Amino acid sequence: MGLIGPGFVGAHHIDAVRRLGDVEVVAIAGSSQKSADQKAHEYKVDRAYGSYQALIDDPDVHVIHNTTPNHLHFPVVMAALAAGKHVISDKPLAINAEDGRRMVEAAKAAKVANVVTFNYRGNPLVQQARLMIAGGDTGDLTFVHGHYLQDWMTDPNVYSWRSDPSKGGVSSALGDIGSHWCDLAEHVSGLKIDSVLADLTTVIPVRYSSGASAEAFSRGNSAERIAVNVTAEDLGSVLLRFQGGAKGSFSVGQVLPGHKNDLVLELNGRSSSLKWRQEEQNELWIGHQDKPNCVMAKDPSLVTSGAAGYVHLPGGHQEGWADAFFNLIRDAYGWIRNGASPETKPALLPTFADGYRSACLVEAMLKSHAAGGVWQKVSGGLSA
C-alpha cells in the first residue's frame, strides 16, 4: 500500500495495515518532499514522494490510501483509478455530490476495490445491532435518533482547513462528523433517509489563524494570528424522514465543551430499542417496555455469528476505536484478495456509492437550511 496525505488519521491507516501482517507499507506522499521525508521517517516507511502522482506511478504500490484534505479527494482518487489502483479513501468522499457521482462511475469502470472509511461500522456491537434489527428482534423501526458532538473547535484560536470552504467544502460539521452519523444510521437500520429538515448555525463566525491548519484534536500554537471569517456550520440539528415511514433526528456540533467524540445512535422499534455509544463502545443497551432493560457486553460468545468475526478479545477485554478501524481495513483487503467484485464485497464495507450518498445527504441538509428550514428530498439513486 501507499499512503497519500499523512496527517492525523494517516497513522491509523498505517497501523491497521501493519496489523494485517501480510501487506507492505511501500511509500508515503506528502504536500512536499520535506514533509514526506519527515513522515516517512516517523512512520518507518522507506520511500517518500513529494507529489501524489509520483506515488501513484510507483509500480510496487497496488492499493492507495487517500487521507488528504477534502478538496484533494477528487483529483487523487481519479488519478489512482486511472492507474488501475485499488483505493481506500477517507470520508467525506467528495466535497459535492457531482464529484462523488463521477468517482463512483470511475471506480466501476476501473473494476477495482473502492472503500470509504466510515469506520464506525467496524465496531462489533454495531454489527450486532444491525443483525438484530435485520432479524426482526426490534420489530419495525419507528424512530432513529442520536447525535455526534465534539469540542475540539471550541477555542476560536483553532483554525483548520475544515473551516476553509476551498479545502473542506461548504459544510463543516455535517460533512466531517454528520456524514459518519448518517452512514451509521442507515447501515444499522437498513433504512434510507428520504427527506431532511435542517437548522444550522455558525457559533464561532470569526476564528484566528496562525497560517497553519490545526490537525483535529491537536493543541494550537501561540504564533501571531489573523482573523478569518467562517461561514460553515459548527452546530446543527436535522429532522429526518426515512423510507417506509420511520422518523428520526440528530444533532452535530464541534464547539461543545466536554464532548470529545460523543457519537450516539438509538433505534426504537415496536418491540424493543437499541442504543450504542461510541465512547462506551463495548456495550449495547437494549430497551424493553414489558421487562427490565439490559446491557449487552461485547463478548464473542454472546454476539451473533455475523458479528463474532469482528471481536478479537474475550469478554471483559476492552476493544476500541483502532480495533474497529482495523476491522474495516481487514475487510477491505479481504475484498481485494477476493477479486474486488461487487458479489464478494463484505456487508460491512462502505463503498464509493455510500460516500456519494453521504454527499447527497449533506447537500440536501444545506439546501433545507438555506431555504429557511423546509423539508428537502434527498437526491441520488446509486446503489453500492
User: Do 216 and 178 fall within a single domain?
Assistant: yes
State how beta strands 262-269 and 273-277 pair. Answer: antiparallel
pLDDT at residue 238 in the model: 98
**Residues 32, 96: one domain?**
yes
Backbone angles phi, psi at 379, to 5 degrees: -90, 175
Instruction: Indicate the average pLDDT of the chain.
Output: 95
Position 345 in a domain: no
CATH number reported for the structural domain that contains residue 253 in this entry: 3.30.360.10
For 126, the grid coordinates are 454495531
Question: Is the pLDDT higher at 217 or at 271?
Answer: 271
Model confidence at 164, pLDDT cuts 50, 70, 90, reads confident
Mark whether 298 and 185 lie in a shared domain: yes
Judged by DSSP in three states, 272 sits in coil
Q: 81 and 112 in contact (C-beta within 8 Å)? A: yes
- Per-residue confidence band for 223, with pLDDT thresholds at 50, 70 and 90: low
Of the listed ranges 102-111, 166-175, 317-326, the one predicted with least confidence: 166-175
In a domain, 323, yes or no: no
Residue 137 maps to a domain = yes
**Domain harbouring 66, CATH code:** 3.40.50.720
State whether 111 and 184 are in the same domain.
Answer: no
Same domain, 159 and 268: yes
* Pairwise pLDDT comparison (175 vs 166), residue with the higher score: 175
**How many residues in the chain?**
384
In this prediction, what percent of the chain has a pLDDT beyond 70? 96
Residue 4: CB atoms within 10 A of its CB come to 30
State the pLDDT at residue 384.
Answer: 37
- To the question of pTM greater than 0.85 for the whole model, the response is yes
Answer yes or no: do 14 and 143 share one domain.
Answer: no
- Shared domain for 112 and 175, answered yes or no, is no
The answer to whether residue 330 sits within a structural domain is no
Same-domain pairing of 104 and 133? no
pLDDT at 381: 58
pLDDT, tens only, 357-369: 999 999 999 999 9
- Check whether residue 161 and residue 94 sit in a common domain: no
SS (HEC) of 249-263: EEEEECCCCCCCCEE
Q: What CA–CA distance (Å, rounded) separates 242 from 342?
A: 26
Query: Amino acid letter at 236?
Result: G
The answer on 273 and 142 residing in a single domain is yes
- Say if residue 216's pLDDT is above 80: no
Q: How far is it, in rounded angstroms, from Cα 247 to Cα 89?
A: 31
Looking at the fold, whether 224 and 241 belong to one and the same domain comes out as yes
Q: Hunting for cell 428520526 — which residue is that?
A: 248
Q: What value does the CA radius of gyration of the chain take, rounded to a whole number of Å?
A: 20
113 and 138 share one domain: no
Q: Is the pLDDT of residue 20 over 90?
A: yes
Does residue 180 form part of some domain? yes
Number of folded domains that form the chain: 2
- Distance, in Å, from the CA atom of 192 to the CA atom of 142, rounded to the nearest integer, reads 13
pLDDT tens for 298-321 read 999 999 999 999 999 999 999 999
**Cα 277 from Cα 263, distance rounded (Å):** 6
Residue 375 in any domain: the answer is no
* pLDDT computed for residue 383 by the predictor: 42
Which residues, 6 or more positions from 361, have their beta carbon under 8 angstroms from its beta carbon? 179, 182, 193, 196, 378
Domain membership flag for residue 329: no
Residue 13 lies in a domain: yes
Q: Side chain identity at 139, as an amino acid letter?
A: G
* Residues 37 and 48 sit within 8 Å (Cβ to Cβ): yes
**Boundary of a domain, candidates 84, 119, 154:** 119
Residues 6 or more apart whose CB falls under 8 angstroms from that of 271 comprise: 137, 138, 139
pLDDT tens digits along 255-299 = 999 999 999 999 999 999 999 999 999 999 999 999 999 999 999
pLDDT for residue 6 is more than 50? yes
Q: What is the pLDDT of residue 74?
A: 97
* pLDDT band for position 161 (cuts 50, 70, 90): confident
Instruction: Give the integer Cα–Cα distance in Å for 226 and 60.
Output: 44
Q: How far apart are CA 93 and CA 138, in angstroms?
A: 32
| Other Cβ atoms within 10 Å of 223 Cβ, number | 10
CB 349 within 8 A of CB 331: yes
pLDDT of 246 above 60? yes
**Residue 74 is part of which domain span?**
2-119
